A and B are shown apart, each in its own frame.
Chain A
Amino acid sequence: MRTLYREFISATLLILGISVLIGFVLANVVYLAFTKNEITQQNVEAAKQIVHVLEEMHVSSHALQPFLESVGRLGYQMYLANGSGDEYFFGEPFEHSRLPARTLDQVLNGTPYMGKDNIWDQFWMMGHFSNDIRNTVGLPLQIGQEPFALFVKPDSKTLFSDIHMMLAGFILAVAVLSLLGVIKMTKRLIYPISELSEATKAIANDDFTYSLEIRRKDELGQLAQNFLQMQQQLKHNDVARKSFISNVSHDFQSPLMNIQGYADLLINPDLPAKERIQYAGIVNDEARRLSNLTKQLLLITSLDQSGYPVRKSLVRLDLQIKESVKKHQWSLQDRNLSISYKMDEAELFSDRELLGIVWDNLITNAIKYNRPNGHIFISCSNNKDKIILTFEDNGIGLSEASAKQVFDRFYRVDATRKKDGTGLGLSIVKEIVTLLNGTITLDSEPGKGTTFTVMFPKKGKD
C-alpha cells in the first residue's frame, strides 16, 4: 500500500511542478505579447506629463530639483541629464545605473527611449521589473534653452518583493493543500482496494463469508458489487459441488457395498436356492444401477460444461419417439405394460442426440414407475408455433412435494425403493429441454399417474 501512496504523492508533486513551470512560461508569453506594451505606454504617458509640467515651469535645472524629488517620493525613479555631464537622480536609487551607450545622445537629439524593448538578453519578464535604469523610458525636454533628457520608471521594488512573497506563499499553499487532499483521497481509494484484496485472499482459502463494507457509487463500488455477486455465486457453486460429490460417492458406495456383501453370501455352497436367487438379483440390480449412474454422470458433467456443443439438424420428433419406444419394447413386454401413441408428424430444428436422451429417459421413467398391466400414452401435437409432447402413465404418481423436487439432481421419491434409478434422469431431461429452449412441466396425482408435458417453440431464439 505504501507504494500507492508514494506514487500518488510524487505524481501530485510532479504535476504541480510542471503546471507552475508551464504557467510561468505562458504568463511570460502573454506579458511579452500584450501587457508589456501597455505598461510601457503608461510609463511614457507619465513621463510625458512630467516633461510637460517641467517645460511649463520655465525655470532652471536647479529650481526643478525640489519638484522632481517630490515626484520621486510619489513612487517614481528618475534620471535627468544633459549633454555636458550634469546628471541628477531622483527617488529610489537604481541598482544598475548605466544606460546603454549612446542612449543619452539619442534622447538629447529628440528620439524617445523605450527601455524595455532593448532588453532582449533578459527574456523573463521579471527582468523588465528589475531596478535597472535600462527599464526606464527616456524623453527629451528643454530646460531654459538647454536640452535635457529625462528617464522615468515607476518604483516597483517594494511592490514586487510583496508580489514575490505572495506568489511563493500561494504556490506553497496550493502544494500543501493538494498533497493533503491527495493523501486523503488515496486513503479513501486504498481502503476498498485493500478490502477487496483481503476478500480475494479469503475466497482463495475457500472462505466465502468475508463481508465487504464498501458503499460507493463509483467504479470501485461497482467492482465491490460485482465481487459480492461473484462471491455468492462461488459460494453457491461450492455448496452444489460439495453436495454433488457427497451424493456421487454415496451413490457409488452403497451399491458397491451391496454387491460386495451379497457376493460374499453367495460364495456359501449350502445356500438355499431361494436365497441364492434373491441375493444374485440384488447384485444384478445394484450393478445395473452403477452402470446407469456412470452413464448419466458422464452426460451430466458434459452438459454442465458451459457451451455444450449443440448440433442442430431437422429432427422428425414423432419418428424419433417411435424408435425410442421400440427400444424399450422388450421391457414393456417384460413388465406387461401397454403403450399407445397418437402423434402428428412434427419436425423440429434441434439436437437429435440430446432429444433422443430426453425421450429415452421419459419413457424409462414411465415404465419404471408404472404398475403391472399399466398403460403409457404418448402424444405429439404439432401446433402453429410450438410442438407439444406428452408422456402419460397411470402408474404410482407423485405427491405434490415430490413433484416439486423431481427435477433436482439425485432426488429420488423413495430412497429405499429397489429400482435402478439414480435420481439423475429427470434432472438431465430438464437440463436438455432447457438447453434446447423448451419447457417441461409435470402433472401428477398419487396413485393415478403422472403426465410430463414437453413444449418446444418452433422458432428458437437462435
Chain B
Amino acid sequence: MTSFIQLLVSGLATGAIYALIAVGFTLLWQTSQTINFAQGEFVMLPAFFILEAMYLGAPFWLAILIGIALSAVFLGILFKLIIVDPMLKHGVLPLVISTIALSLFMKEMVKNLYSSNAQPFPALAPPIDLHFFGAVISTQSLVVLGVAISVVLALHLLLHKTRLGRAMQATAQNPTLARILGIPVRRMVLYTFLINAVLCAIASILISPIYLAKFINGETLGVAAFLAAIIGGFNQVRGAIFGGFILGILDNLSAAYLSSTYRGAFPLLILIAVIMWRPQGLLGRVEERTV
C-alpha cells in the first residue's frame, strides 16, 4: 500500500507535466488546426536555453526568466510566423510534415551544438525525502505537482474568467463569428501560440531535473502529449489535463505491477481502445462535420 501511494504521487507528478504539454497541444489544434509534431522538442529545447543563460553567468532564477522569454519568441512568435502562417493555406497535411521536419531540425541542432550526452539540470527544490504514513515522497514530486497544478489553474482562470480568455475561446469555436463580433482573431491565435510556448518552457523546467537535459527527450514527451490529448479529448482543455494525469499514473503503476519491459505499451493500448470506442476522447465532445 505504501509503495502504491509513492507510485501514485510520482505518477501524478509526471502526469501533471504531461498535462501541461498536452494542454498547449490542444490549444494550438483548437485555434489554428495545427497538429504540432514538434511539441516534444518544444519541451526539450527551453532547458538548453536556460543552461546556456547560466553558462553565460546568469543566476538560476534569471536564467529561467530568460528561458521562458526566449521560448515565447522562438517557439511562440517565430514558430507561428515562419512555419505555421505560410503553411495554413496548404491545409493540415503539409503543416504536419513541416512540424515533423522542425522536430528533426531542433533535435539535430541540439545534438550537434551540445553533444548527445545528457546535461545535468538544476532542480527547483532540494531533493529531500518526506515520510507520510510510511510512504517516501520526494519534495521534487511535490514541487512539480504544485507548480503544474497552479499553472493549469491560472490557465483555467484566464480562459474562463477573463474577457481575453473568452475571446480566445470564441476564436477557437467559430473564427468567422468571432471576427464579426469584433474580436481580433489573428492576435488571439498568436496568444495561444505564446501560451503554448510558455507551457512547454515550464514543463521543460519541471521535467529536466528528472530526465536530465537531452536532445532525445522530446520523442517520448511528444508522444505522451498526443496520447494524453487523444485519450482525454482533443477538443477540450480539461480533456487534455485529465488525459495527462491518467497517462502519468498508468505509466507508473503498470511499470511497477504489470511489466516493466512493456511499460510503453499500456498507454498505447488504452489509446487504441479509446479511438475504437470513444474517438472523441473520454471528456471530448463529438465534433460536428462541416461541409
Q: Do A and B bind each other?
A: no
